[in-house]
Structure 1
Amino acid sequence: MPAKDAQTQTEGFSAEERAAMKKRAAELRAEGKKGAKKADGLQAVLDAIAGMAPEDRALAERVHVTVTATAPELTPKTWYGMPAYANADGKVVVFFQDSGKFKYRYSTLGFQEDA
């Protein structure tokens, strides 16, 4: 049998993926603090949208307006550094991933199964 080269397997997470995981860990720490408020989540979403490229920002702003107008019971928050909206249980049901996040060609509007 030929020996398998260990280098041909995956090399682990990319820099973008590691950065997203660090953002998620910071989000979880912030949620765990007493006194975390909806306003903090809304500001985090607005900051995430402001940091996007202009074409992605325009889409994200429209998604934000649409989701907040259509489903005001959803709470804005960030999820892996992306704008997201959670239900009353705190579970993300819809999120917006800009194309620059993981160097994708298109932006993504995603729904979790809790939706």
Structure 2
Amino acid sequence: MSNVDSSTYAGFTAEERAAMKDHAQDLRKATRRGTAAEKAASAAQDVLDRIAEMGESDRVMAERVHAVVTASAPTLAPKLWYGMPSYALDGKVVCFFQSAEKFKSRYATLGFSDLAQLDEGAMWAAGFALTEVTPEVEARIAELVKRAVN
């Protein structure tokens, strides 16, 4: 029996439902035929296409994040994850960019999964709010991504 009061539970938001639909589409795309290299190239293009569809502010930040992540950790493969640009190691997402516009948030997010090796004692950050990607932010992203895969 659920503890949720069904008279007040509204279910998933429209943004959450859209993200789940995106994820289902991402999974279907991942099963496409071709060589591993062709699949990787297609997944990388899907990420670039999704970034290009973003509003200007998110697009500019996502382009910079993409450039920094792919340069700092070439072992990470770009792929879509719940419709968001993400970067995976052996098919498992290590980090991702969540646009502010998609989730009607006041800031974009650079997030890290539990696979990221960012552990610092008993508590550490796994998500970072982004309002702008400056040279200092790029350096911090590069450092975090390198640590995440080592």
Report the TM-score when normalising by structure 1.
0.89
Q: CA RMSD in A?
A: 1.3
1:109 aligns with 2:103: no
Counting matched residue pairs gives: 109
The residue that corresponds to 2:27 in the other structure is 28
- Offset, 1:51: 1.0
1:70 to 55, 69, 72: 72
Distance in 2 of aligned mates of 1:34 and 1:57: 29
1:1-115 aligned within 5 A: 6-8=6-8, 10-35=9-34, 37-88=39-90, 90-115=91-116
Note the residue ranges of structure 1 that are not aligned, 5 or more in a row.
none
Cα distance per residue 1:55-93 (max 9 Å; x no partner): 1111101100000101011100010110000002x0000
Residue 100 of structure 2 aligns to a residue in which SS? coil
Write the distance in 1 (CA, Å) between the matches of 2:78 and 2:94.
10
**What is the identity, as a one-letter code, of the residue corresponding to 1:38?**
A
**Quick check: 2:99–2:107 contact (8 Å CA) kept in 1?**
yes
Of 14-23 and 63-72, deviating more is 14-23
Give the Cα separation in 1 of the matches to 2:82 and 2:6: 30
Write the distance in 2 (CA, Å) between the matches of 1:14 and 1:42.
28
Deviation at 1:33, TM superposition (A): 3.1
1:95 Cα offset (Å): 0.2
Measure the CA separation in 1 of the matches of 2:31 and 2:54. 27
TM-score under structure 2 length normalisation: 0.69
Task: Report the Cα offset of residue 101 of structure 1.
Answer: 1.3
> What's the secondary structure of 2:7's corresponding residue?
helix
CA offsets 1:3-34 (integer angstroms, 9 cap, x no match): xx7322x2111111111101101111221233
Q: Distance in 2 between matches of 1:57 and 1:7?
A: 39
